[in-house]
Structure formats: structure tokens, C-alpha cells
Amino acid sequence: MKRKSVVTACILSIVLVWLGVVIKLGVGGATTHERPGIFPTTFNWWEETAWDQHLFLGQYEYSNISQGFVYTTNTYPILLTNYILLSPFHHLFDLKYELLQNGLVYLHVLLFLGLILWLRKKEVSELISPNLFGLGWLFLVIGLVLANALPWISFLRYNADNFHFFVSMVFCYLSVNVETKNSAVKDRRFLLGGLVLACISVIYIIPWILCYVFTEEKLAIRRAFFKNILIVLAVSGVNYLLPVMAQQHLGLVNVSSSFLFRSGLDGHSIYLKSTFAPYFSAISEQHMGNCISLMCGVFILIAAMKSKRSVMLKQLLFNLVPFSFVYIALPQWCTIHPYLSEFLFVTPCVFLINYWLLSLKINSDFSPVRFVYMVVFLSFLIMGQLMEIAKTYVLDNL
């Protein structure tokens, strides 16, 4: 018990230090700034209207309410979960939803860190010892997660109702199954991950199925595999249809973007001039420099860790499946909202770098030379992320 308490105290101390750094660079100012958004508009509408007049549907803007419009992109599980998280603070402390929604990014970032540390809990415990080199190593690894610029920018500058970060975490968790030989364990994990995705967004069910196939030993339909897919498809269908049925029952007009628009198959070229546009011609802010540095970091580690290279490559390719699917199937959406779609690329890169680095044992896998170069490597990645945060919020710091 004492050992566990020491590990927890060290991790919490490191987390607080890094949170202090990003808050100082502008995240703190952005957190205290009230902003409009789907969650405030929706939750205020719910509390000002009888339940049978809104049926817990979403609203995009306040003006949409009087015009008879409704927004059905967000599923009931998304809206209700976030309402349960935020409404107690709204009623107990009289804080506006326009402010409370800013706290969601902290929850997501800490969940992401918790996922990595949980998957490597044994290795993390071994790092915290009288050997200060291990503690320093853990400090840098946690720093790369908490300094990851994309969530701090995307949630606090654009969409607080962002579910793509959580989706990317689910795929990161499932990617560890490329090492799992036990089919029963893998099936349970994929069913859990699939059910979570089914409650979030129907568009991610196809990449989930492709990733499931990716982990199979041969191209054949197993009974458990087929059953899990049917269950997830059924749950996904229910979560997709319920808001649509409620919208039609109330006689409201859905203002959510259609598949034709998001895919670019509407034929317009205002936002999407070619299939390469999501990568090189995004109309919103895009953090290409950090995307490139993170991918270079992934390849450097694959090249350096020769004994694990095949598994690492397979994990990387696994995580590129949902990213590739979305950029192929919904290129116009990706061009307009790169700060959302980039989660499917940036999050796996940060996850894999940390997941692989934590597999190294400080006493046996590191020579002094290798340790120094790894520290320099991690410091470079962290500094790039911190600079992105500082550049984004520079006006707030003046």
C-alpha cells in the first residue's frame, strides 16, 4: 500500500507541474473565457422548456430554437453524459454552461493519460524508485501527453462538444490487441470498444469493423466476431435513429450536415478542390508541423527498437485505419474541420510513442548514451507542442 501511495503521489505531482505549464502558456485564460457552443445552447434549452417539447435533442445555435431547427449529429449518450457531468456545477455553483464546457478538455486529457499509465502500470511503478533517472524519464513521458497541443487548442478554441478525441482513445486502446493471441480476450475488448463507438457516432463503426478484421489471424468469419459486429451495428442503429425519430415527432427541421456535404460528393468545390485538400489545403487552422514531428518520432522509435519492430509497425498501421477511412470517406468535413479530424492522427502518435517508451526498462534497456539521446528526442517533441499552445494563445498573454 505504501508503494502504491508513493507512485500515485509522484504521478499527481508531475501532472500538476505540467498542467501549470500549459495553463501559464494561455490555456488558463482560454479556460475562464465563456464561449457559445452546442452544449450551452442545448442544456439551457432543456432547462427552459418542458421535456416533451425538446425530447433531449441538441441545438446548434440559440436562433435555431425559434426557427424550428434541431441538431441531431450528437447522440443521446453524448448529450446526456455531458449534461450529467456539467449540470451539478451549474446548479450548485451558479456557473454558466458557456464556462463549464471548457473543463471538458481537462477530463479528456487526463483520461488519455490515465489510459496510457493503466496499460503500462507495471512499468510505471518500476520507474518510480530511488533511481532519479527513472523519475525524470516518467516526467518527460507524462509531459508529452499533457503538452499535446491539439486538445488544448481544439476544445478551447473551436468545439467543446468534441467527441473525436475520445474516439481516437478507443482505437488506441484497441490497437494493443495486435499483440493479443487470446481470441476471447480480444473479442471482449472489441465488443466493449465497439459499443462505446456505437454510442458516439455511426461513422466510426466501419473503421471499427476494419480494425477488427485487421487483428484476425485469417480472413474468415468466426462466430464471436460475427455476433459482436451484429450487436454493435444494432446499438449504433438505435443511437442514430432515436434523435431522428424525436426530431420528426416534434416536427422540427434537422440542420446537421448531410453525408453528401461531408464527403464532398455534393459536387461543390468551395471547400474541397481535390482529395488532397484535407492534407494540404485545409481552410481552418492546421498543425502540420507537429503532425510531421510526431510521425517522425514514431518512425525513429520503430527504427531504434529492432526487437519489437514488427509489432510496432502493426500497431501503427492499425491506428492509421480510422484516420485513413475518415480522410477518404469524409474529405470535405476533414478540410473544414482539421482540428477535429487530426485527433485520429495526432492522438495515436502520442499514444504509441509513450506506450512504446514505457515498455523500456530504465536499468536494462538504457545505456547513458541512449538515455541522453532519448531525453533530447522527447524534449524536442514536447517543446514543439508547447510552442503551438503559446502561439495559439499569444494574444491572451499580452
What average pLDDT does the structure give for the chain? 88
The span from the CA of 300 to the CA of 297, in Å, is: 5
Q: What is the pLDDT of residues 95-113, one digit of tens each?
A: 999 999 999 999 999 999 9
Residue 272 lies in a domain: yes
> Comparing 152 with 278, which gets the higher pLDDT?
152
Q: Which grid cell sits at 23?
A: 495553463
Q: What is the pLDDT of residues 48-62, one digit of tens each?
A: 999 988 899 988 888
User: What pLDDT is recorded for position 363?
Assistant: 65
Report the b/e string of 371-398 with b at 16+ CB within 10 A.
beebeebbeebbebbbebbbebbeeeee
pLDDT > 80? residue 194: yes
For cell 517533441, what's the residue? 381
Q: What is the pLDDT of residue 398?
A: 42
Is 75 part of any domain? Answer: yes
Report the alpha-carbon distance of residue 204 to residue 329 in Å, rounded: 11
Q: How far apart are alpha carbons 220 and 369 in whole angstroms?
A: 47
pTM of the model as a whole: 0.92
Range of the domain at 337: 35-98+162-379
Predicted local confidence at residue 370, as pLDDT: 81
Q: Dig out the grid coordinates for 178 from the structure.
A: 495486435
What pLDDT does residue 245 have? 92
The verdict on residue 127 lying in a domain is no
> In Å, how far are 123, 139, 149, 152, 391 from 135, measured between CA atoms?
12, 6, 23, 25, 30
Which residue(s) pair with 70 in the sheet?
254
Is residue 261 situated within a structural domain?
yes
Q: Is residue 369 scored above 50 in pLDDT?
A: yes
User: 254 forms bridges with which residues in the sheet?
Assistant: 70
* Confidence tier at 130 by pLDDT (50, 70, 90): low
Count: domains in the chain: 1
* Residue at 119 is within a domain: no
What span, in angstroms and rounded, lies between the C-alpha atoms of 361 and 138? 11
Cell of 110: 487526463
Average pLDDT over residues 338-355: 92
State the pLDDT confidence band at 323, using cuts at 50, 70 and 90: very high
Q: What is the dihedral of CA 149, 151, 157, 159, to 10 degrees?
A: 160
Give the whole-angstrom CA distance, residue 142 versus residue 362. Answer: 16
Which three-class secondary structure string do you get for the chain? CHHHHHHHHHHHHHHHHHHHHHHHHHHHHHHCCCCCCHHHHHHHHHHHCCHHHHCCCECCCHHHHHHCEEECCCCHHHHHHHHHHHHHHHHHHCCCHHHHHHHHHHHHHHHHHHHHHHHCHHHHHHHCCCCHHHHHHHHHHHHHHHCCHHHHHHHHHHCCCCCHHHHHHHHHHHHHHHHCCCHHHHHHHHHHHHHHHHHHCHHHHHHHHHHHHHCCCCCCCCHHHHHHHHHHHHHHHHHHHHHHHHHHHHCCEECCCCHHHHHCCCCCCCCCCCCCHHHHCCCCCCCHHHHHHHHHHHHHHHHHCHHHHHHHHHHHHHHHHHHHHHHHHCHHHHHHCHHHHCHHHHHHHHHHHHHHHCCCCCCCCCCHHHHHHHHHHHHHHHHHHHHHHHHHCHHHHC
